[in-house]
Structure 1
Amino acid sequence: MTPPETQSLALPPAVPRSIARPAAVPSVAARSDAHSGTVRDVNWSPATWLLLVVLCGALFLDALDLSMVGVALPSIGSSLRLAPGSLQWIVSGYILGYGGLMLLGGRASDLLGRRRVFLAAVAVFGAASVISALLSNDLALVALRFVKGASAAFTVPAGLSIITTTFAEGPARNRALSIYSVCGASGFSLGLVVGGLLTEVGWRVTFLVPGPVAIALVLAGLRVIPRGAAERIRPHHFELRSFDIPGALTSTAALLILVYAVVDAPNRGWGSPVTIGLLALSVALTAAFVAIELRHSRPLVRLGILRSRTLVHANLAAAAMFGGYSAFQFVVTLYVQNSLGWSPLGMALGFLPAGLLVALSSTWMEAVLGRVDTAWLIFFGLLALMAGYALFLRTEPSMAYADFLLPTMLLLGVGFALCFPAVNAQATKGIADHEQGLASGLLNTSVQIGGAIMLAVVSAILSGSGSPSVHHELLPGMTTAIAVSVGVSLFALVLTVVFLAQGRRRAGADA
């Protein structure tokens, strides 16, 4: 059985319009804007699909890797004789790198070039995967996991910003975002199953497999990813003063310390001097970051972007959506494996219906995004998520899978099918091309921080129960922990209602 502290789960949108396509990709669509190069038509060329395969493949790989390693943790601990406290950091290290550096990754893609940042980050991810498969030292493994998380923090906003500036706002972008979102959610869900199968061969295989795939994506990306204005600037000609170094250092440090504090709080205690000190330091660094951004001529984050109601709402909804799900999956994974005695593969198959629903949604979400306001999609998605968590509260150990878990997974699948593409589309809607990386970085930072905080909260609830898990009984503190996911979803649902009401009042005033 796997102790609570060894599990950690997390889930799991710019080229300027004046820049033409590279010679290798003269046209991305059957009909595209001759001046901007952005896709204006849904009749895409093969090059369009290959570009999406590369971008979606990287996101799929990030999510796949995280979930595969989560399934392999017990085998890793047994093979390397790691204590639970050390084992947990193999996953937590990834979260620290991912959540702490996401904002920096988004801005770097805008300033240094999306293509350049994307390809370099995917290459580092692949190299770190191969090297980590050969290691047996726990500290070295955690360090490589941090490197892989940091790589994903640069890959995701760069890839998303390439999509939102390559595909024009409207049907083309909605279709691309729908496919991209489905690949991310599917990667995490399928990673559970793939991880269970690969762990049967050996846990090192789960570390190794992403490496060759990442290298293949880099080779394909060199041919199909368009060059932007920033790619014309050679790295050694890049002016350092144009990059907000103080802002990058303070924001990254604040996020890293915050994530570290909430991940480590269940071990030290929320009231411990170390936890309080770390949280206070994070607040102080955040205040310093705001002061720097207000004075810097070229800030890492233009704080005025937060005046966008749609962006702020998308970030809050995404944090609650992924935070609630991460907490739920964490608790249920412990319950079905430790209390019900399911195997890792059995647990993964139990969660699979939700992932399949998200994957199947790609056939109709493009049309839905073009016809329904994203805020309403978020509303109904959050409603389905909340209903799924609430339905699980009636669980009893004697219930069959079809009675206690399947109904919840079907509702969660519907919730994510609606929410996942909607928050991505809403967060980047109306944002200027040169700030698409920033917007996507903010969104993905919210996702990771929301997941980290919620995981820490439910871990503290389970650890604070003071009782070990008993075979074929509910986990101590499990009901309270699931209720937290219900509460967070309800909070986001209320925010969405307020957002919709404000939008209706503004529309009435304009009329």
Structure 2
Amino acid sequence: MTQQPVATSNKLDAAVLKVAGVVVLGAIMSILDVTVVSVAIPTFQSEFDASYARVAWTMTGYTLALATVIPLSGWAADRFGTKRLYMVALALFTIGSGLCATADSIGELIAWRVVQGLGGGMLMPLGMTIMTRAAGPHRIGRLMAVLGIPMLLGPIGGPILGGWLIDTASWHWIFLINLPIGVVALIYAQLALPKDAPEPSESFDFLGMLMLSPGLALFLYGVSSLPEAGTVTDTEVWLPMAAGAALVVAFVRYSFRPRHPLLDLRLFRNRNLTLASLTLFVFIIAFMGAGLLFPSYFLQIRGETTLTAGLLMAPQGIGAMLTMPIAGMLADRVPVGRTVPFALVLIAAGFFTFTQLGTDTSYLLLCGSLFVMGLGMGGTMMPIMTSALKTLQAAEVARGSTLVNILQQIGGSVGAAVMSVILTSELNGSRVIPGVTDPGTGAPVTEAQLAIGVQQQPELAQQLPVPPSLIERGLDFAANSFATTFWVAFGLVLLTFIPAAFLPRRREPSHLLDGEPGEEQRPMPVPIH
């Protein structure tokens, strides 16, 4: 294993910040791309004449690829070296971005988003390994605060950048913008990251990979097909879900046998990791799933431009920007069980406003609620991740971060699918307009669907012989559909309080600096894993 000593100072020095710059730049590309695409979903619907459920695959395909490639990153880093693999991931993500801009159909766009995800899936776990090695485990709270920068810039800059590029140029530029950033990141990584000599210390778990990666992909494919199919009894839904679940269960039973499994589930014997992971998983389902719907409401119900929708989303990121650095510092000193529940209260309060949505809900109220949710998010994500990793041994950090990253991606995919199913089902429940059909599919059009179409393309109101009262009724129904979906997200946020109540309320010493038996007091360098 390649090792290097770490500094004992509590401050992040210039050498650490230089490495952090590379990691943060890569993470910004990956996270920014998710939030940029979120405001483009309605544009993709009209551009490719596709349903919301179909277009949502541009998000789901990306997270699917992330979830399947993350388990490979630990072994691959050991085998090929973190610097080399990180640069390959950057290059793959950048190439995938360029290919996305060339897509002529929604199917092509989804395929190239998967290529993007294969690169993006390795950026965060590799970045965390590189940063932990450079900063040292005694500064893990400050380290998480630094890694939280992309999470701040994503919600603020992503929707605004995406909206501006779509309004002033075209949707292609939300992907083309990654090309110069990717080139700069590759050059920066070559110059700033220290060389490492890969020394494989573990055999690769091929059997585990053959069960886990296809299992996750099949299960999430089935879940994500729900919005389009509309029912779990559809073959395209239950068959891949059942096959994927069987493979995942088989992997779980198998994973306790090999010494170095692809995903080390034995780490869940650590109570803090288990509780933190469960809290994070439920929270991600609610927050990430509903997060896709915020810009859609502004675009489809209020008829705003993509740039305006992006600007209206900014208060959430600003709120997180204020609390995340504070939460990162407190995580080193105050048990998360004393801080996270208060942050969750803020998130729940913000979510409740969106359960009362109408066609004319005050923007001041909505932006204020997003700001409050952002404050809560900033005080939730990083402390939970710190708690998950803090009591692990030094050699377990990379495997622990892989587990946490996997759960995040699965939670995001499940959340997006669940919210899409509920919203699509609600919108389809409005009355069908006699004599009006979709020109692309020939299917009957409901009042809600027509109203959303008119909001996005006002010229339709003159082309179709429908009274304004019908449009108004359709918009009311659509707004109520969004509100119903947010009620589900609100319920999931409340559910998060259950595992959060068991998070540690007493300060526990970190074991990240523990050495071998008999050497408990001697600081150990953090290995590349």
Same fold (TM over 0.5): yes
Q: Aligned partners of 2:42 and 2:82: how far apart in 1?
A: 37
Partner residue, 1:447: 408
* Among 462, 471, 475, the residue aligned to 2:475: 471
Instruction: Please give the residue correspondences for 1:474-489 in structure 2 after superposition, counting only pairs within 5 Å.
Output: 475-489=479-493
Q: CA deviation at 1:162?
A: 1.6
Give the greater-gyration-radius structure (CA).
Answer: 2
Q: Report Cα offsets for 1:161-198 as digits up to 9, x if no partner.
A: 2222322233x332221021132242243111000111
Higher percent of residues as helix: 1
Q: CA deviation at 1:438?
A: 1.9
Partner residue, 2:260: 298
Identity of aligned residues (%): 23
Q: CA deviation at 1:407?
A: 2.8
**Counterparts in 2 of 1:397 and 1:71: CA distance versus 1, 3 Å:** closer
* Among 354, 357, 360, the residue aligned to 1:392: 354
| Secondary structure of residue in 2 paired with 1:41 | coil
Q: CA deviation at 1:409?
A: 0.8
Partner residue, 1:207: 175
Q: State whether residues 106 and 154 of structure 1, in contact with CA within 8 Å, keep that contact through their aligned partners in structure 2.
A: no
Q: State whether residues 321 and 382 of structure 1, in contact with CA within 8 Å, keep that contact through their aligned partners in structure 2.
A: no
Q: Report Cα offsets for 1:129-161 as digits up to 9, x if no partner.
A: 123323424433222210111211111111012
Q: Aligned partners of 2:325 and 2:242: how far apart in 1?
A: 47
1:19 aligns to 2:7 (yes or no): no
1:266 aligns to 2:230 (yes or no): no
| Secondary structure of residue in 2 paired with 1:313 | helix
Q: CA deviation at 1:293?
A: 1.8
Q: Aligned partners of 2:210 and 2:484: how far apart in 1?
A: 38
Q: CA deviation at 1:72?
A: 2.6
**Counterparts in 2 of 1:455 and 1:128: CA distance versus 1, 3 Å:** closer
Q: State whether residues 124 and 148 of structure 1, in contact with CA within 8 Å, keep that contact through their aligned partners in structure 2.
A: yes
Q: Report Cα offsets for 1:78-122 as digits up to 9, x if no partner.
A: 445556565333332212112233233345335543323222111
Q: Aligned partners of 1:489 and 1:185: how far apart in 2?
A: 20
Q: State whether residues 109 and 437 of structure 1, in contact with CA within 8 Å, keep that contact through their aligned partners in structure 2.
A: no
Partner residue, 1:494: 498
**Counterparts in 2 of 1:381 and 1:39: CA distance versus 1, 3 Å:** farther
* Among 417, 437, 450, the residue aligned to 2:378: 417
Aligned residues: 464
Q: Aligned partners of 2:485 and 2:7: how far apart in 1?
A: 45
Q: Report Cα offsets for 1:388-423 as digits up to 9, x if no partner.
A: 1123323333332112x1232122111111012112
Instruction: Please give the residue correspondences for 1:215-226 in structure 2 after superposition, counting only pairs within 5 Å.
Output: 215-226=183-194
| Secondary structure of residue in 2 paired with 1:298 | coil
**Counterparts in 2 of 1:385 and 1:362: CA distance versus 1, 3 Å:** closer
Q: Report Cα offsets for 1:347-402 as digits up to 9, x if no partner.
A: 22111111012223355334322321123332222222112112332333333211
1:190 aligns to 2:157 (yes or no): yes
Q: CA deviation at 1:76?
A: 4.0
Q: Aligned partners of 1:147 and 1:220: how far apart in 2?
A: 23
Q: State whether residues 121 and 155 of structure 1, in contact with CA within 8 Å, keep that contact through their aligned partners in structure 2.
A: yes
Runs of 4 or more consecutive aligned structure 1 residues displaced over 6 Å after TM superposition: none
What letter is aligned with 2:227? P
1:91 aligns to 2:52 (yes or no): no
Q: Aligned partners of 1:333 and 1:368: how far apart in 2?
A: 32
Partner residue, 1:27: none
Q: Aligned partners of 1:80 and 1:474: how far apart in 2?
A: 22
TM-score by length of 1: 0.84
Instruction: Please give the residue correspondences for 1:295-374 in structure 2 after superposition, counting only pairs within 5 Å.
Output: 295-374=257-336
| Secondary structure of residue in 2 paired with 1:203 | coil
Q: State whether residues 323 and 451 of structure 1, in contact with CA within 8 Å, keep that contact through their aligned partners in structure 2.
A: yes
Q: State whether residues 95 and 149 of structure 1, in contact with CA within 8 Å, keep that contact through their aligned partners in structure 2.
A: yes
